[in-house]
Homo-oligomer: A and B are copies of this chain.
Amino acid sequence: MPTPNSSMNPTQVNFNSPRKFRTTLKSKCKETFFPDDPFRQFKNEKPLGKAKKTLQYFVPIFEWLPQYNLKMFRFDLLAGITITSLAIPQGISYAKLAEIPPIIGLYSSFVPALVYAILGSSKHVAVGTVAACSLLIADTIGSKVSSKDDPTLYLHLVFTAAFITGVFQAALGFLRLGILVDFLSHSTITGFMGGTAIIICLQQLKGLLGVSHFTTKTDVVSVLHAVFKNRNEWKWETAVVGMAFLVFLLFTRYLVGKLHKGLNPISIEYLNFDAEYLPYTLKAGIITGIIALAEGIAIGRSFAIMNNEQVDGNKEMIAFGFMNIVGSCFSCYLTTGPFSKTAVNYNSGCKTAASNLVMAIGMMLTLLFLAPLFSYTPLVALSAIIMSAMLGLIKYEEAYHLFKVDKFDFCICLAAFFGVAFITMDMGLMISVALALLRALLYVARPAACKLGKLPDSTLYRDTEQYAEASGPPGILAIQLGSPIYYANGNYIRERILRWIRNDEGNGKAVKHVLLDLTGVTSIDTTGIETLAEVLRILEVKHIKMKIVNPRLDVLEKMMKSKFVDKIGKESIFLCMEDAVEASYDFSATTEKQGFEEQRSGVA
**Is A441 a contact of B445 with CB atoms below 8 Å?**
no
Tell me, in angstroms, the Cα distance from A408 to B28 when the chains sit together.
12
**Is B487 a contact of A185 with CB atoms below 8 Å?**
yes
Interface residue? A341 (CB, 8 A): no
Residues on B with C-beta less than 8 A from A602 are 302-303, 306
Min C-beta distance of A504 to chain B, whole Å: 13
Q: CB < 8 Å: which of B36, B458, B527, B561 contacts A187?
A: B527
Residues on B with C-beta less than 8 A from A11 are 455, 457-458, 460
- A residues 397-432 touching B (CB-CB < 8 Å): 401-402, 404-409
- Pick from A392, A404, A448 the residue with the most CB of B within 10 Å: A448
Interface residue? A571 (CB, 8 A): no
Tell me, in angstroms, the Cα distance from A483 to B519 when the chains sit together.
11
**Is A392 a contact of B525 with CB atoms below 8 Å?**
no
**Is B445 a contact of A179 with CB atoms below 8 Å?**
yes
Residues on B with C-beta less than 8 A from A502 are 37, 40
Interface residue? A116 (CB, 8 A): no
Residues on B with C-beta less than 8 A from A310 are 498
Interface residue? A21 (CB, 8 A): yes
- A residues 1-37 touching B (CB-CB < 8 Å): 2, 4-5, 10-11, 14, 21, 25, 31-32, 35-37
Residues on B with C-beta less than 8 A from A21 are 407
**CB-nearest residue of chain B to A575:** B460
Which stretch from A160-168, A251-259, A464-472 is at the chain B interface?
A464-472
Given A35-B446, A484-B443, A554-B448, verify A14-B489 contact (CB < 8 Å): no
Tell me, in angstroms, the Cα distance from A542 to B307 when the chains sit together.
11
**Is A520 a contact of B519 with CB atoms below 8 Å?**
yes
**Is A448 a contact of B523 with CB atoms below 8 Å?**
yes
- Pick from A489, A498, A520, A550 the residue with the most CB of B within 10 Å: A520
**Is A32 a contact of B442 with CB atoms below 8 Å?**
yes
**Is A5 a contact of B457 with CB atoms below 8 Å?**
yes
**Is A2 a contact of B445 with CB atoms below 8 Å?**
no
**CB-nearest residue of chain B to A413:** B526
**Is A183 a contact of B488 with CB atoms below 8 Å?**
yes
**CB-nearest residue of chain B to A498:** B310
**Is B484 a contact of A527 with CB atoms below 8 Å?**
no
Interface residue? A447 (CB, 8 A): yes
Q: What mask results when residues 456 to 495 of chain A are scored 1 for a CB within 8 Å of chain B, else 0? A: 1111101101110100000000000011101111111001
- Pick from A404, A529, A556, A604 the residue with the most CB of B within 10 Å: A604
Residues on B with C-beta less than 8 A from A446 are 31-32, 35, 179
Residues on B with C-beta less than 8 A from A496 are 31, 35
Interface residue? A558 (CB, 8 A): yes
Q: CB < 8 Å: which of B182, B407, B457, B523 contacts A443?
A: B523
Min C-beta distance of A515 to chain B, whole Å: 15
Q: What mask results when residues 340 to 372 of chain A are scored 1 for a CB within 8 Å of chain B, else 0? A: 000100000000000000000000000000000
Min C-beta distance of A296 to chain B, whole Å: 13
Residues on B with C-beta less than 8 A from A401 are 526, 562
Residues on B with C-beta less than 8 A from A327 are none
Residues on B with C-beta less than 8 A from A305 are 534, 537-538
**Is B522 a contact of A447 with CB atoms below 8 Å?**
yes
Residues of A at the B interface (CB closer than 8 Å) are: 2, 4-5, 10-11, 14, 21, 25, 31-32, 35-37, 40, 178-179, 182-183, 185-187, 299, 301-303, 305-306, 308, 310, 313, 339, 343, 392, 401-402, 404-409, 436-437, 439-448, 450, 455-460, 462-463, 465-467, 469, 482-484, 486-492, 495-496, 498-499, 502, 519-523, 525-527, 529-530, 534, 537-538, 541-542, 550, 552-554, 556, 558, 561-562, 575-576, 602-604
* CB<8 Å pairs between A and B, sample of 28: A4-B456, A10-B458, A31-B492, A35-B446, A35-B491, A37-B499, A179-B445, A179-B446, A182-B489, A183-B445, A185-B486, A185-B525, A302-B602, A303-B602, A303-B603, A339-B604, A343-B604, A401-B526, A406-B558, A437-B441, A448-B554, A459-B459, A462-B550, A466-B556, A482-B483, A482-B522, A483-B520, A483-B522
Q: A519-B520, A520-B521 are in contact. List 4 more A-B contacts (CB 8 A).
A: A35-B495, A308-B541, A392-B604, A441-B441
